[in-house]
Amino acid sequence: MSAPQLCVPADRRPAHGIRSGMKWRTLLSAVVLLCAGFARADDRTERDKQIDAAISKALDHLAKQQQADGSWGLDQGNRQNPATSATSLAVMAFLAAGHVPGEGPYGAKIQQGVTWVLNQQQPNGMLVREGGHGPMYAHGISTLMLAEVAGMTDEALAVRCREALKRAVLVILKAQMVRKGRGHEGGWRYHPSSEDSDLSVTGWQLLALRAAKNLGCDVPAENIDAAVEYVKRLSVRNRGFGYQNGSGSSPTRAGTGILCLEICGVHHSPETLGAADSLLQDPLRADQEWFYYGAYYCTIGLFQVGGKPWEQGKGHLIPLLLNLQAKDGSWSGRQGQERNLGTVYATSLAVLALSVEYQYLPIYQR
């Protein structure tokens, strides 16, 4: 597998849809206003309005949780530990709701958050600050965020994001090319040097690579293909996906596998459709461990599948999320390790799930 060379500058890459820059967003807003007279106010359903209100309250909560240095953190005792993963998830929550760096009520906060993540990049290209046993989680999430920022603005900040992406993408590709044990080829695990793989870490790296490739970064097709084959090998008799070879499925794992294949252009494969059907038969529950992680992957994955799986899936997932929101606009983990990660983590993932039909984030557009 060959390594990437660069991320193509904005003036040399295809437009990333109407959301590829703030000038396009301004033009879009003008068109919407001009057409407003042709739309009825009651076109939006009551559920749509509930989602809008929930997201608005959630963003206010996230804005209040930002630290003075621009970071967001994961809970650690009585204080927040600044983390590139938490900061990147929070930034993407604002982006998913249509806000961009340097513009609007949250523009300064978003820009501060992105800048903080950029400043944490290590000499080896890793986008991490926090410790822990799995730095590739934070790296994948932060690489995805930088690609989305660069795809939604054409300002100077996007130039910095593209420069950081060059090294961040190299880290992911080199980690994939480490010689791995049988059955682990094509995937990723906790560390750049890991010799095994799992679905969870692989999901974030694959999302990051696809977002970077959509932006114009040189991500060889063979690397994406190898990752797709790894995810397919984790299929559990077309009824979901395992965490590793030989393990069983769960709603969270099923959603992760679905999204991995769908965003890579493997639409409606037997593995995906079978997993989607399993989610309709055994949907994600709030009392399950890693619920918010699952809500993120299941909602966005089923949205990519579309049709009956999405209509039936959102009829379960959206009300479930809305009913769990606290009065202050936040969400909190309920089971296992999620209970200890804090509201920034849970609230960001909830917003990303609820805002999927807005389709502001380029990576999730159908």
Confidence of residue 43 (pLDDT cuts 50, 70, 90): confident
CA dihedral 221, 214, 304, 197 (to 10 degrees): 50
Whether pLDDT at 29 is above 50? no
Distance CA 96, CA 295 (A): 15
Distance CA 85, CA 211 (A): 17
Whether pLDDT at 46 is above 90? yes
Q: Which pLDDT belongs to residue 336?
A: 87
Give, for 209, the enclosing helix (H) or strand (E): helix 199-215
CATH classification number, 53-364, choose in 1.50.10.20, 3.40.50.720, 1.25.40.10, 3.20.20.140: 1.50.10.20
Confidence of residue 366 (pLDDT cuts 50, 70, 90): confident
* Mean per-residue pLDDT over the chain, rounded: 89
pLDDT per position as a tens digit, 55-104: 999 999 999 999 999 999 998 655 678 999 999 999 999 999 999 999 99
Chain length of the chain: 366
Q: Which pLDDT belongs to residue 75?
A: 85
pLDDT per position as a tens digit, 118-137: 999 999 999 998 666 689 99
Whether pLDDT at 6 is above 60? no
CA atoms within 13 A on the CB side of 68: 0
Q: Which pLDDT belongs to residue 44?
A: 82
Bridge partners, residue 7, by sequence: 217
Whether pLDDT at 37 is above 80? no
Confidence of residue 154 (pLDDT cuts 50, 70, 90): confident
Distance CA 78, CA 303 (A): 37
Q: Which pLDDT belongs to residue 35?
A: 47
Packing angle of the helix pair 199-215, 156-176 (nearest 10 deg): 140
Using only C-alpha atoms, the chain has a radius of gyration, in whole angstroms, of: 19
The ranges assigned to domains in the chain are: 53-364
pLDDT per position as a tens digit, 162-209: 999 999 999 999 999 999 999 999 999 999 999 999 999 999 999 999
Q: Label residues 260-273 b or e (16+ Cβ within 10 Å = b).
A: bbbbbebeebebbb
pLDDT per position as a tens digit, 316-331: 999 999 999 999 999 9
Bridge partners, residue 198, by sequence: 188
Q: Which pLDDT belongs to residue 19?
A: 38
Whether pLDDT at 292 is above 90? yes
How confident is the model over 237-246, as a mean pLDDT?
96
Number of Cβ within 10 Å of residue 255's Cβ equals 29
Give, for 266, the enclosing helix (H) or strand (E): none
Q: Are 126 and 144 in contact (CB under 8 A)?
A: no
